[in-house]
Amino acid sequence: VQLVESGGGSVQSGGSLRLSCAASFYYNSNVYSMAWFRKISEKEREGVASFDLDGSTNYADSVKGRFTISRSSAMNTLYLQMNSLKPEDTAKYYCAATYGVPRTRIGVPPSGEYSYWGQGTQVAVSS
């Protein structure tokens, strides 16, 4: 499995960015759930949004109403549309995937429930 993120960059507060994650899966793409995380400390990754294989989505409270997660019709590209960006959104954003459906069904599942990770893309929001 290979996940490659793109679309990060530097924007001013209130601006927008669209992140993409191109996935190459061993099995058909529609049997994998995917999500976006961001690194908030050296050891911790915060779940931003998730898109399960059954089409259900979840968002962190901090991004609800501002970020939108979506997948391509072929289910092999994951997007994160980020609007009304704030300085506190500054982080390295990671794409994650796992076979099947995560155990956690309420909220964005924790990082430990995802088996595959991309290298990340940096987002910087200035005030």
pLDDT per residue over 67-80, tens digit each?
A: 999 999 898 999 99
Average pLDDT, the chain: 95
- Tens of pLDDT, residue by residue over 103-127, are 998 999 999 999 999 999 999 999 9
| Token pair belonging to 113 | 């429930």
| Token pair belonging to 33 | 């759930």
Alpha-carbon span 27 to 42, nearest angstrom:
32
Scan for tokens 């910087």, then name that residue.
124
Q: For 66, which DSSP code?
A: T
- Tens of pLDDT, residue by residue over 12-48, are 999 999 999 999 998 888 899 999 999 977 888 999 9
Q: What is the pLDDT of residue 13?
A: 98
Q: For 119, which DSSP code?
A: -
- Look at residues 31, 18, 4, 123 and name the one whose alpha carbon lies nearest to residue 66: 18
Q: What is the pLDDT of residue 26?
A: 87
Alpha-carbon span 118 to 27, nearest angstrom:
17
Q: What is the pLDDT of residue 66?
A: 98
- Look at residues 62, 90, 101, 94 and name the one whose alpha carbon lies nearest to residue 80: 94
